[in-house]
Every structure is written in structure tokens, then in C-alpha cells.
Amino acid sequence: MSRRSTTVMAAVALVSALTVLTAPGAAYASPARPAPPSTSDSSRDLEQVRAELDGLYHDAAVATEAYNAAEEKAEKQSGQIVRLAKDIVAGQKKLDRLKSRAGAAARQQYRDGGMPPEAQLMLSDDPSRFLDGADRMRQGQHATKGLLGEMARTQEDLQTYAQDATRNWKKLEAGRKEKARAQKKIKSKIAAAEKLESQLEKKERERLKELEQQAEYKQQTAWLSSGVLKDIKGSASARGKKAVAFATGQLGKPYVWGAEGPGSYDCSGLTSQAWSAAGRPIPRTSQEQWKQLKHIDIKDMRPGDLIIYHDDASHVGMYIGDGAIVHAPRPGRNVTIAGAGSMTILGVVRPDA
């Protein structure tokens, strides 16, 4: 068995043990809980620091998803501009061919002379031959009219393509500005968080990490104590298994905002790439995953489903079973396994519904 598989099993086993120990009415000893926060001023100050850091990293996560959305839009708009450019080139070539044909028709008409048909009939030695020629002339006139109509339609198409390209360029430029604003906000929030953490002594940083774990533990315990897992018995689909295998295969890789692998990920970068690897492309951002994918009741949840967190859908993790998720938490952390209820759940979505 690989070391990574062993790590995944150990982490899930830990969550499973916690599930049993916190189930309502279970006749087991309570698990050894982390030491409760001290009531000293120092601990109260650290709790304030933890809350402030949570806020900063949350704001960074919101800005990251805005950046990802702008990036996704820019890719689509760039693709549309390329397609329109190809349409314009093809349309221009068609218009050149039509103009060439129209010119040839005009030259032929000039060679035939601009003499009125009545005069041509009077001067003709063979009236039947003249009538044949007149019939061909009418056919030519109809063809010329059709040619001119096609030229006009082609010119209209070219004008439409040009207008669409202009609109897409404007959207692309607006997206660049939006992306730049999000990038600036991400960097400022992360910088503020890092500055705040750098001001702490080593013992305070260790204590701060304990407080973070205690807060997660408290939420996970409350979630499990509700008996929620007793109804969750769904089995992963074939694609769900592939998605879970991909996501858990990234354990230990660092969180980097805007990253989609292979060396690092942000939260939605991990889930979108996992499902892409499973053969089911999904939206890039957690907000769009929440908007576009099918919503599932928690009791119907199965491994591979995505749990969306916070009221603004700013975070996402992948359910892997036994009350656990795999996710990319935040800057300064690595892809890890955590309790599915350790954060405020907005809802669950299923990519392969």
C-alpha cells in the first residue's frame, strides 16, 4: 500500500472514530479533547487574532474566486475573439471572390454593348438567335442580382463580426481590470494576515494553531452529534471514485490562490481539476459550482459530491466519506483531509447527477 493511501486511510479513520465517539447515545468514553482556551488576557487576545485572521483569509478567498471567475471569462472571450477573427478573414475572402465575379459580369455586359434590346433585334440577321441571347441575358441579370445580394449579406456579416469582436475586446479589457482589482485585494489581505502572524512569538503561533483546531473540532463535533451521518449511506459513482482518487492524490500540495495544479491548488482549482480528471468538466469557481451543479440533500450525499461552505459560497471541499472532506484550506496550508462539518455548510452539489 502506498504512503499516500495510508495517509488518506489514517485521516479518514480519525474522522470515523470521532463520528462514533460523538454519536448520540454511544456508550463510549469521550475522546481526549484539546485543552480549552485559557481565560487569560493572552488567550483572549489570541482568540481575537484568530477571528481577525479568519476574516482576512475569508476575504482573500472571496477575492480569489472573483479572480478565478474573471480569468475564466477572459479565456472564453479570447476564444470568441479568435473565432470571430477567423470568420472575418473567411468573410473577406468570400467578399473578394464575389467582387471578382461581379466585376467579370460587368465587363461581359460592357462587351455585349449597352444597346437597347429593340435596336439589337432590328440589326440582328437571325431573330431566333437574338431571342436566345436575350434569354441568356435575362438569366445573367438574375444571376447578377443574386450575386449582388450575396455580396450585401456578406458585407453585413463582416460588419456584425467586427461589432461582436469590438464588444468582446471591451469585455476582455473590463475583465482584465476586474482581475487586477481582485489580485490586488488578494495580495493585500494575505499580506495583512502574514504580517499579523509574524508579530506573534513561536509559542503564540503554536497556541493560535491549537485555537484554530479547537474551533474546527467544535463545529465538527456539533455537526456529528446531530446524527447527520446515520442517514448518509450513498456509494460513490464510477466517476466519483476517480474524482476522489485524484483529489486525495494531491494531499500535501500547497494552497496557492488561482492555482489549478499540478503543483499547487486553491479550493475550487482542486475540485474542478479532480472532476475534469474524472471526465466531467465543471465550473471553475465555488460560486459557479454552487449555481450550476445539481443541489443534493446532505442525507443523500456520496463520495465525490462537493460541499459548498459559507453564505457567499466562497469555499468548497470534496466529500470522501465517513464525515470527511479533502480540500485546499487557505494560504499557508496544504491540501488536507478535514471534518466535513468543520466549517459552516451552505449546501451540497453533485457534478455527475
| Contact predicate 56/191, CB 8 Å | no
Cell numbers found for residue 185: 485585494
| Residue with grid cell 472575418, as numbered in its chain | 88
| Residue with grid cell 461552505, as numbered in its chain | 309
| Contact predicate 26/36, CB 8 Å | no
Question: Would you please indicate which residues are annotated as catalytic (active-site) residues?
Answer: 267, 315, 327
Residues listed for the chain: 353
| Contact predicate 209/233, CB 8 Å | no
Least Cα distance to 325 among 11, 91, 5 occurs for 11
Cell numbers found for residue 126: 437571325
Cell numbers found for residue 131: 431571342
**CA distances in angstroms from 64 to 86, 188, 193, 266, 270, listed in the order given:** 33, 12, 15, 8, 13
How many helices and strands in the chain, by DSSP H and E? 8, 6
Residue 316 bridge partners (DSSP)? 308
- Give the span between the Cα atoms of 106 and 104, in whole angstroms: 5
Those residues with Cβ within 8 angstroms of residue 30's Cβ, 6 or more apart along the chain or in another chain: 21
- Give the span between the Cα atoms of 313 and 346, in whole angstroms: 7
Tell me, rounded to whole angstroms, the distance of Cα 343 from its chain centroid: 22
| Contact predicate 249/335, CB 8 Å | no
Give the chain's end-to-end CA distance (angstroms, integer).
32
Q: What DSSP string runs through 188-217?
A: HHHHHHHHHHHTS-HHHHHHHHHHHHHHHH
